[in-house]
A = this chain, B = another copy of it.
């Protein structure tokens, strides 16, 4: 590979739906005339900010090259009202004889599981049901699920539920295919060993029952690593489900509050992947394509998914939350969740998600209105959206055009808007949207957080290197980065 180093040039500019977005990379490398033999020039103090960040964080290469390619992959998606019932034929077509159906105690009693059971029964497919999936899975809950699966050794997996269920099923699939692996082997570095998944796993069909995570399209599984007090995960393309069966009728069972928080997750998936650093700014360029992360920064194909998902979410989320009979909105929100899943699954998320993990984990006692739960819970979507106004005010300077376009997706007239106003316009648009949605906290104070919690929230965010490295404008020097995060949490206290 060392013979060919190609500098990203004008041709790496993003295609956009509405206009051409220009990435900030210089359009050509002026010192060389042969485009096949460009060498990358480090500018200024030898390393770019992202290079400095990564070097500081222990990457081996002293002068890492920037990325020059992107890769897009997504699960096959089947979409339609009532399509769950095809799953029996799918499994029979695959020749599956011993299927593990993964769900949780709630979904086990709902329409989606009824349909799956009926479909498997009709086709005479043998299956076992695991329904102990924990919402917001922990390593211990995942180990329980893996321990359940190992003696069964299923030849195919079916996940019926929200992101927690689908993510748990992905890990059951992984660790039954690598029965001798240590749990930390595949966990994202630096908490785990970040071992790549070097063989195909068994078929996994995901049947989402929320319009939120997009996990049916991605190779990511998220959980709490309790021993390290951190939210982390495993991310590799081979974790992707074989097929996502997206049946809007399965999402009609969501209570309104769950629709809202799931939908806010979609909103942030699309906003964060749309505004993530361009893939050409990510370092290091992987030495082997198997090491190219799925969270690779924004790119011309993820942009298309992310921006479409954003527009749809703005249009349909309030409708689906306020009118449980609005089938069109329900269909469009599941579609938006899936599109956003493809977008962020190949581009990544950044600050809202990175900051959300300590917010959920350090919950002072908040219970989301409309959630029938015994213990306090800040739903994932609420914890990502609560910082969104402050986050996008902060990131706007990195790419004002993109932030103006995001504001336009919220209906803001940007005809005469100035670049310097991009953050303010987008932040205000998000605020208004949250108010229209209703029942949303107006900042961290409403969740029970005060200034005294900020230091712990900052400390809980720092380990989220995998997403923070995609945040535009975040400093690479640790103390400066902490200052910025402190300010973001402070700006998120109330709005």
Contact = CB atoms under 8 A, between A and B. Distances in A.
Interface in A48-98: 68-74, 76-83, 85-86, 89-90, 93
A4 B85 contact: yes
Instruction: Provide the main secondary structure of the chain A interface.
Output: helix
A308 B312 contact: no
A11 B86 contact: no
B80 A70 contact: yes
A82 B331 CA distance: 41
Most buried by B among A13, A82, A300, A329: A82
A17 interface: yes
Nearest to A83: B69
Contacts of A77: 71-73, 301
A406 B70 CA distance: 29
A237 interface: yes
A292 to B, nearest CB: 8
Contacts of A86: 1, 69, 288-289
Copies in the complex: 2
B11 A248 contact: yes
Nearest to A334: B11
Contact of A68 (B5, B9, B83, B315): B83
Interface in A5-44: 5-6, 8-13, 15, 17-18, 20, 27-28, 35-36
A90 B237 contact: no
Interface pairs A-B: 7 shortest CB-CB: A69-B80, A11-B331, A6-B82, A73-B76, A10-B328, A71-B78, A69-B83
A475 interface: no
Nearest to A196: B93
Contacts of A18: 17-18
Interface of A: 1, 3-6, 8-13, 15, 17-18, 20, 27-28, 35-36, 68-74, 76-83, 85-86, 89-90, 93, 111, 115, 118, 122, 198, 237, 248-249, 252, 288-290, 299-301, 304-305, 307-308, 311-312, 315, 327-332, 335-336, 339
Most buried by B among A18, A301, A329: A301
A73 B73 CA distance: 10
A290 B89 contact: yes
Contacts of A20: 315
Contacts of A329: 11
Contacts of A237: 76
B328 A288 contact: no
A248 to B, nearest CB: 6
Nearest to A114: B36
B10 A327 contact: yes
Contact of A328 (B11, B82, B118): B11
Contacts of A332: 11, 13, 15
Contact of A35 (B83, B89, B249): B249
